Copies of this chain bind each other. A is one copy, B any other.
């Protein structure tokens, strides 16, 4: 090796942890993953998990510096890294890193971001993905909107490389609880027991998204149409969950009203992101750019800003 030593970067969330060995230009040299999220760390022993996960790399590169983002820096994690107030970018996050002694050197923890107001909001882990996405697509840095779909889907407004404001939609969690525990899930479950799991029905998804787009009704009322359309014989029971997904994702677009001139990016699992690209088209928007996993790039950016790499 010549030049600076590599950097150890961890994406340590609730359900899993992924470790990256990053080269001097930030490129991924090696990666390891374990299902040791903070709720599932063996024995709750973060130090032991860290040692097992990264030992071979640290043997090879003594004094390796390490940085982590995600729930590992929450009150339930290894040590709490207090939230940065928005607006926040790489400089603010780098200045607010918190350290924890691992027994094998310091681990730097990236703080989450908070914005106040009547309905305050927080993110932890997403801030790092967003900064990674901005590195991967520098034309997004000036002014753009970044979507992070999931259990708690986030729409984040970016200006001059900083997180300015954001909104969280309970899309994924609403979908799951309504599918598994409400009257809306029953027809589809019965149909799926008969037919087995099936591909997404895009026409049902788009019907849901366009119903929200064209209606003045609120979400709580529109959800009920998932049931009544089946009852009225106007929708196949097997398609009703794709319709429900379309309603919930369509609601994000209806409420967020993204401006057509702002570039739109979606970060995450491609299958889920495809739904957002389809919905964007229905709302007259260009397809959001897909960035699958920018976390390592974001950790590199923050570490560089902090002088760790």
The interface of chain A, by Cβ under 8 A from chain B, is: 114, 116, 118-122, 152, 167-171, 173-174, 177-178, 180-183, 211, 214-225, 228-229, 231-232, 234, 248, 251-252, 254-255
Contacts and interface: CB of A to CB of B under 8 A. Distances in A.
Contact of A119 (B121, B173, B222, B248): B222
A236 to B, nearest CB: 15
A119 B225 contact: yes
B118 A220 contact: no
Contacts of A214: 118
A178 to B, nearest CB: 7
Contacts of A218: 169, 218-219, 251-252, 254-255
A221 B167 contact: yes
Given A119-B229, A174-B220, 16 more contacts: A118-B211, A118-B215, A119-B211, A119-B221, A119-B222, A120-B229, A169-B221, A170-B223, A177-B178, A177-B181, A218-B218, A218-B254, A220-B248, A220-B251, A220-B252, A220-B255
Nearest to A249: B220
Contacts of A232: 114, 116, 120, 122
A65 B220 CA distance: 40
A231 B122 contact: yes
A183 B234 CA distance: 33
Q: Which of A181, A211, A229 gathers the greatest number of chain B CB atoms within 10 Å?
A: A181
Contacts of A225: 118-121
